[in-house]
Structure 1
Amino acid sequence: MSPSHPAIPPGFRPLSADSGFIGVNGPLYLLHQGEDVRLGLRVEPRHVNPMGNLHGGMMASFCDMLIPLTVHRKGEHPGRRFLPTISLQIDYLAPAPLGCWIEGRAELLRATRTLVFAQGLVTADGVPCARASGVFKIGPELPAGFGV
C-alpha cells in the first residue's frame, strides 16, 4: 500500500458489506479471534469533515456497527437476530485525523427478552476518541448468508 493508505493492522479482514450504507461508506475491517472482537476503519479523505478529522456522522455509523457486531460475534446474544438501534449515545473525546486507524471494542452490559444494552470504546491510533452506549431491539432472524 502507498504511504497515503497505510496497511491494515495484522489480523483484520474486510467486513463483507458489498452493498448498502457500509458498502458505500466503508470499508470496515473485523478482527475476531476467540473473545477478541474489534472493528476497524482507516480514515480516508471521503470520511473527514472540513478540518480533516473523521466526520461525527461517520463515527456514529462506526459505533452503530461496532456494538451489535461485537455482541453477535462474542456469542453473548442468543441466536442470529437483527439488532436495530433504539438509542445510541456517543461522547466524542478527541479528533480522529485523516489517515489514522480507528479501532473499536464493545461489550454487552445486559440483555433482556427484547432488548440488548451495550457499550464500546473507539481509539484513533491508540488514543481514545469516542465512547458509545446503546440500546438495541432484539429483532427478527437475520437472512441466511448474512455475515454475522
Structure 2
Amino acid sequence: MNTSASIDFDPIQAPPPGFRSVRVGGNFVAHNGPLFARLVEGRLQLGFRVDQRHVNPLGICHGGMLATLADMVIPCAAMYRPGQERRFLPTISLQVDYMGAAPLGAWVQGEGEVLRTTRNLLFGQALVSADGQPALRVSGIFKLGALITEGDLADPLGLDAPA
C-alpha cells in the first residue's frame, strides 16, 4: 500500500513590502518555510505566508508551524539587538499561548524582544499576528551558546543589502 500523498502547493503570495526571504535555523526551517524578515525602526520582524503545506485538516495553520516561527523570532531579534554578541541560542523553554487562528493564505508575522540576559541565558518575549490579528503570545529562555563569528555580524540576515 502506498502511503505517500501528493500535495498540491499553491504558489505563495508575495510577503508585505520590505520583507525579504531569509535562510535561518538550518534545514528544518528551510524545508518548512520559507521565512521572510525585515527591519522596522531597528526591530526585526519575521514572518511567513500560510501555504497549503502548513495547514491542518481544518484549513488553518498547524500549531507546530506557528511554534516554529515562535521559536525563531526571539533569537533572530537578539541578532539585531545593539551590543548583543551574536551567539547560537538553543531553546531551553518556550511558552506559547495560542490566541487566534491563521487561515490558509494569511500573513503570519512576529516581533520579538530581549528582556534580559544573564551570564548564561537570554530571556525574551514576542507577539505573533495573523493578518494583523493576535495569534500567539510567546516567552522563551535560551542558552547563550557558542559565538557565531562568520557572516555579517551587523546584519546577519542581509536585510540591508541591495535586493
| TM-score scaled by length of structure 2 | 0.82
Aligned twin of 1:6: 13
Q: Does 1:104 align with 2:135?
A: no
Separation in 2, partners of 1:109, 1:26:
27
Number of equivalenced pairs: 145
Greater C-alpha Rg: 2
Among residues 110, 113, 123, which one is paired with 2:119 in the alignment? 113
Q: Which amino acid aligns with 2:12?
A: H
Q: Does 1:134 align with 2:140?
A: yes
Aligned twin of 1:124: 130
Q: Which amino acid aligns with 1:99?
A: G
Residues 1:7 and 1:97: Cα distance change in structure 2 (over 3 Å): same
Among residues 11, 29, 35, which one is paired with 2:42 in the alignment? 35
Separation in 1, partners of 2:117, 2:107:
30
1:22 deviates by 1.0
1:18 deviates by 9.5
Could you tell me which runs of 5 or more consecutive residues in structure 1 were left unpaired when the two chains were aligned. none
Separation in 2, partners of 1:4, 1:144:
33
Q: Which amino acid aligns with 2:110?
A: G
Aligned twin of 1:145: 151
1:71 deviates by 1.3
Give yes or no for contact 2:78–2:113 (8 Å, CA) kept in 1.
Answer: yes
Residues 1:141 and 1:18: Cα distance change in structure 2 (over 3 Å): closer
Say which SS state the counterpart of residue 20 (structure 1) adopts: helix
1:4 deviates by 6.0
Separation in 1, partners of 2:67, 2:34:
15
Could you tell me which runs of 5 or more consecutive residues in structure 2 were left unpaired when the two chains were aligned. 1-9, 158-163
Aligned twin of 1:89: 95
Cα RMSD (Å): 2.0
Q: Deviations over 1:5-46 (max 9, x none)?
A: 332111100012495111101000000244221001000000
Separation in 1, partners of 2:35, 2:12:
14
Among residues 74, 77, 102, which one is paired with 2:81 in the alignment? 74
Q: Which amino acid aligns with 1:49?
A: N
Give yes or no for contact 2:43–2:77 (8 Å, CA) kept in 1.
Answer: no
